[in-house]
Structure formats: C-alpha cells, structure tokens
Amino acid sequence: MIRVLVADDSRVMRQIVVRTLRQAGYDWHVREAENGAQALAAVREDEPDVVLSDWNMPEMTGIELLRALRAEGFETPFGFVTSEGSAEMRETADAAGALFLIAKPFTAESFRDVIEPVLA
Amino acid sequence: MSTAVDTEQVYAVAAAVFAAMIDGDEGLLTPWYGDLPLVEEPLSAWVDLHGELPGRAALVCEAATAHDLTRALLMMEADEEVDDQDLVDAFGEIANVVGGNVKSLLPVQDTLGLPEVAHGHPPAAEGHVAQELRLSWRGQLIVVTIWLVG
C-alpha cells in the first residue's frame, strides 16, 4: 500500500485527486491536509511515501511546504498538482526538489505517467 | 480586445477544464449561438492575477447551472442536494483552474489569488475586458470573462 499525503485547500479538489489516484491504479492509503502548514505537521508526525500538493494555499503555500521539508531534512518524494503549470513554475518546483508537476486539469493517465517512475 | 490571450486559447482552456474535470469527455462545452438569455439568478466565481500583468478570470452562470456543475464535478446524482460549502468550493475551483491556465498563457508570470464566489455578476476588475466567451454547457449558458491591465 502506498501512503500518500494530499494537500489542497479545496476539499473538492482533494476529493478529485484521491478519485484520480484510485483510477490510476495502485492501492493508496490517503491522508489529507488543507494547507502547507497542516501538511508539514502531518509529515513530521508520520512521513508518507509521497506528497501531492497544490501550489497556491492559505497559511503556507506548496512551495513553502517543500522548502520547509527539505530544510528539515525530509527527502519525501514530492509532486505538485496545480492549476498553474508555466515553465517558470516548473523550474522553481524543480529547483526546490519537486519530482514532478501535474497541471490541472488532469487525467488518470497523466497521474500514472508521472507517478509510476517515482514509485518504481 | 487584448492580444495577450486570444479567444481560441481561452476557449481551449475552458474546454480542457470541462472535459477533464467535469464531463470526462470532450464536446459538451461549445460556443453559445443565438441571443443570450437573461441570467435571473447569477452566481459568479473568479480568481485574480497579481503582478506585472494583473487581471481577473471569472465565470458567471445561473445558480442552478453552478449546482449542476458541482454535481458533475463531485459525481453526485442528478437529484442530490448540493450544500453551499461544496457549491462554493467546486465552482471556485473551476474558476481557479481556468484562471491558472489563462495565467500560464501570459508573457509575464506572477501570482494567482485564491478563488472567490458571490451571488450576482462578477465585479469588474481593473483594466479592460480582454476576452468574453459565451459558452453552452449541456445547453446552459456560462460566460467566461478575462480582464487584463495593459
């Protein structure tokens, strides 16, 4: 079972991400966080196999979350699921240590394409 | 109208968002042909673009259409009741994804605000209307408006 932490301030979007993960296959154990700060606390408490995070969230953004995790020594595989998929954001995400960026809207296929190499 | 984003680009964004997030299939969002009906109970969702090229991306439709969009997004039954929290979250998220993708088309990349939802038509933003698309989703009117400064 793959333990995933899904961070997004939209409950609807978290629900869609979880649904898409299940459509993409694998057996997921899902935890959810409403913002970066909650996600950071959740990783400190119990590090998941992978973090999927929105970029733009209140309290703490996704990129702030990623930088905080790396600063604390967590090497948790991390990917963004965001409505903003510009080349500049991809570069920023990559520089901070993200493994991938999935742009919304997404499909089960696009999830599978980026997550499979991470899980391999 | 601005040349920063053209009609085809905005339509392609909206069509992709609806196909992937809402309908699971393409072709259910089309241009609106003919006269526009009066929107009697408008509900709006918008997200602001901040920075060097500020603007706003907004959707407006009948509240009943926003309820149908929420049901489709959450795979609810046609007669299932939509609560206000889900309505605001789902309708706002559609505006957020449309706005985020429109932002990606702009030559300057800055930040995107958090989505807002309100009764009535969307408040006019600074700048000019760069694009206004009148769309039909399953026969229901949805208007997408993009404001840009500059």
pLDDT tens track for B66-102: 999 999 999 899 999 999 999 999 999 999 999 999 9
Of A56, A88, A107, the CB nearest to B114: A56
Residue A118 has pLDDT above 90, yes or no: no
Residue of chain A with shortest Cα separation from B19: A105
Q: What is the pLDDT of residues A21-33, one digit of tens each?
A: 998 888 899 999 9
Number of folded domains that form chain B = 1
Q: Is residue B118 part of a domain?
A: yes
User: Residue B57 forms beta bridges with which residues?
Assistant: B47, B146
Q: What is the pLDDT of residues B12-38, one digit of tens each?
A: 999 999 998 898 888 899 999 999 999
Which spans in chain A are helix H? 11-24, 36-45, 62-71, 87-96, 108-119
Q: What is the architecture of the domain spanning A3-119? A: 3-Layer(aba) Sandwich (3.40)
pLDDT band at residue B129 under the 50/70/90 scheme: very high
ipTM over 0.90: no
Question: Chains A and B: how many Cβ contacts under 8 Å?
Answer: 63
- Where do the structural domains in chain A lie, given as residue ranges? 3-119
**What is the torsion angle, in degrees rounded to the nearest 10, for the CA atoms of residue A110, residue A112, residue A115 and residue A118?**
-130
Numbered residues of chain B with Cβ closer than 8 Å to any chain A Cβ: 16-17, 19-21, 70, 73-75, 85-86, 89-90, 92-93, 96-97, 99-101, 103-104, 109, 111-112, 114
Closest CA to A12 of B12, B79, B92: B92
CA distance linking residue A96 with residue A78, whole number of Å? 10
Mutate to test the interface with B, among A10, A12, A91 (most CBs of B within 10 A): A12
Q: Is residue B26 part of a domain?
A: yes
- 3 state SS of B144: strand
pLDDT of residue B3: 55
Q: Is residue B1 part of a domain?
A: no
How many C-alpha atoms does A27 have within 13 Å on its Cβ side? 1
A85 vs B contacts (CB less than 8 Å): 100-101, 104
User: Residue A87 forms beta bridges with which residues?
Assistant: none
Above pLDDT 70, what percent of chain B?
98
Of A12, A86, A107, the CB nearest to B74: A12
Return the CATH number at B74. Answer: 3.40.1550.10
What phi, psi does B49 have (nearest 5°)?
-105, 125
Q: Is residue B2 part of a domain?
A: no
With left for phi above 0 and alpha for psi between -120 and 50, is residue B147 left, alpha or beta?
beta
CA distance linking residue A54 with residue A58, whole number of Å? 11
**What is the torsion angle, in degrees rounded to the nearest 10, for the CA atoms of residue B127, residue B129, residue B131 and residue B136?**
140
What phi, psi does B17 have (nearest 5°)?
-65, -45
Q: How far B35 CA sits from the closest chain A CA (Å)? A: 30
Closest CA to A52 of A103, A1, A120: A103
Residue B2 has pLDDT above 90, yes or no: no
Domain range for B80 is 7-31+39-148
Residue B135 identity: L
Token pair listed for A55: 């970029």
B59 vs A contacts (CB less than 8 Å): none
CA distance linking residue B13 with residue B123, whole number of Å? 22
